[in-house]
Chains A and B, each alone.
Chain A
Amino acid sequence: MQFMLLFSRQGKLRLQKWYVPLSDKERKKISRDLVQTILARKPKMCSFLEWRDLKIVYKRYASLYFCCAVEDQDNELITLEIIHRYVELLDKYFGSVCELDIIFNFEKAYFILDEFLLGGEAQETSKKNVLKAIEQADLLQEVHTHIFSTTLIFLKKKYNPGPL
Chain B
Amino acid sequence: MSDVVEKTLTALPSLLSLDSQPGSAKLSSTSKLGNLIRGITELTSKHEEEKLIQRELTSIKDQVSSPNTSMRQMKELMVRAIYCEMLGYEASFSYIHAIKLAQQGSVLDKRVGYLAVSLFLNESHELLLLLVNTVLKDLQSTNLIEVCMALTVVSQMFPKDMIPAILPLVEDKLNHPKEIIRRKAVLALYKFYLIAPNQVQHIHNKFRKALCDKDPGVMTASLHIYLQLIKENSEGYKDLTASFVTILKQVVGGKLPMDFNYHSVPAPWLQIQLLRILSLLGKNDQSTSEIMYEVLDESLRRAEMNHNITYAILYECVKCIYTIQPKSELLEKAAKCIGNFVLSPKINLKYLGLKALTYVVQQDPKLALQHQMTIIECLDHPDLIIKRETLELLFRITNGQNVTVIVEKMLDFLRISKDDYTTIDLVGKVAELAEKYPFETMNTVFSLGGDMMQPDIPNSFLKLLSEGFDSDEEDRKLRLFAVDSYVSLLQSEPNKLPQRFLQVISWVLGEYSHLSAELEPATVMTLLSKLLDLKHTSSETKSWVLMAMTKLCEGGVAISVAQDIYETHSSSMDTVLRQRAQELQHLSQDSELYLMGGVDSSLSFLDGFVSEALAAGAAPYKPPHQRQEELAQAKALSLEPYSLSLPISMSSCSIADRQSPTLMSMSSGLSGDSTDLSHKGGSTTLKLDGVKRVWGREGYLAQREPVEETAQVEVPSPLRSPSQQAEADSTQSQTPTPTVTPELEQDKQQLASSLFVGLGSQSSVCLMGKSDPTPQRFRRKAQGRASSSGASEKTPTSLGSTPSPVDNLLCNSLLDSNLVSEPTNQTPQASQSLDTTNGNCHEELTDVKENNPSLIHNNEEPDKPKDLCLSSHLPTELSGLSHSEITPLCSNQSVNLSACHVQKEDSLQLVIFIFNSSDSALQQMQLQVDSGELKVNYCLSLITDSPVEEVRSHSVAVCHYSVTVKRPSVHVEVLGMLSYQLPGGTPQTIQFSHKLPLTTFIRPLTLSTEEYGSMWLAFSQDTKQNLTLINDDQDPLTTTLNVLKKKLQLHVVEIIGVEGIVACQLVQDQPCLMHCRVHAGTLAVWLRSPVPDLPDCLLYHCQRALQEH
Give chain A's interface residues, CB within 8 Å of chain B.
Answer: 12-19, 21-24, 28, 44-53, 75-78, 80-81, 85, 93-95, 101, 103-108, 110-111, 114-115, 118-119, 121-129, 133, 135-138, 140-142, 144, 148, 151, 155, 158-159
Contact = CB atoms under 8 A, between A and B. Distances in A.
Contact of B22 (A12, A17, A142): A142
A75 B272 contact: yes
A118 B155 contact: yes
A118 B269 contact: no
B26 A76 contact: no
B259 A123 contact: no
B596 interface: no
Contacts of A110: 115, 119
B25 interface: yes
A49 B383 CA distance: 10
Contact of A51 (B5, B111, B386, B421): B421
A119 B115 contact: no
B15 A126 contact: no
B115 A121 contact: no
Contacts of B24: 94-95, 101
Interface string B1026-1037: 000000000000
B165 interface: no
Interface residues of B, number: 81
A48 B385 contact: yes
B944 interface: no
B960 interface: no
Given A75-B312, A106-B83, 8 more contacts: A47-B347, A53-B421, A77-B312, A93-B23, A107-B79, A124-B183, A126-B260, A127-B259
A24 B121 CA distance: 9
Nearest to B20: A142
Given A85-B262, A124-B183, A141 B352 contact: no
A83 B63 CA distance: 37
Contact of A159 (B1, B221, B311, B352): B1
Nearest to A107: B79
Interface string B1-21: 100010010001001101010
Given A50-B388, A76-B352, A137-B111, A81 B268 contact: yes
Given A51-B421, A125-B267, A46 B351 contact: yes
A133 B118 CA distance: 19
A85 B350 CA distance: 23
Contacts of A141: 15, 18, 20, 108
Contacts of A18: 122
Interface in B84-116: 86-88, 90, 107-108, 111-112, 115
Interface stretch (B29-37, B790-798, B838-846, B985-993): B29-37
B189 to A, nearest CB: 11
Contacts of A46: 347-348, 350-351, 383, 385-386
Contacts of B155: 118-119
A57 to B, nearest CB: 9
Contacts of B975: none
Contacts of A44: 347
Contacts, number: 184
B170 interface: no
A155 B5 contact: yes
B156 interface: yes
Contacts of B29: 104
B112 A107 contact: yes
Interface in B347-399: 347-348, 350-352, 355, 382-383, 385-386, 388
A49 B385 contact: yes
Task: Report the 3 A-B pairs with minimum CB-CB distance, sorted nearest first.
Answer: A77-B312, A144-B15, A126-B259
Contacts of B33: 104
B421 A52 contact: yes
16 contacts: A16-B119, A46-B385, A78-B268, A104-B25, A104-B33, A108-B25, A114-B115, A118-B152, A119-B155, A119-B156, A125-B220, A125-B262, A126-B259, A135-B23, A136-B144, A144-B15
Given A46-B383, A111-B115, A104 B26 contact: yes
B409 interface: no
Nearest to B272: A78
Nearest to A85: B262
B20 A144 contact: yes
A81 B87 CA distance: 27
B124 A21 contact: yes
B37 A118 contact: no
A95 B21 CA distance: 13
Contacts of A45: 347, 382-383, 385
A45 B387 CA distance: 12
Nearest to A136: B145
Contact of A21 (B79, B122, B316): B122
A154 B162 CA distance: 36
Interface in B215-261: 217, 220-221, 224, 257, 259-260
A63 B144 CA distance: 37
Contacts of A118: 152, 155-156, 184, 187
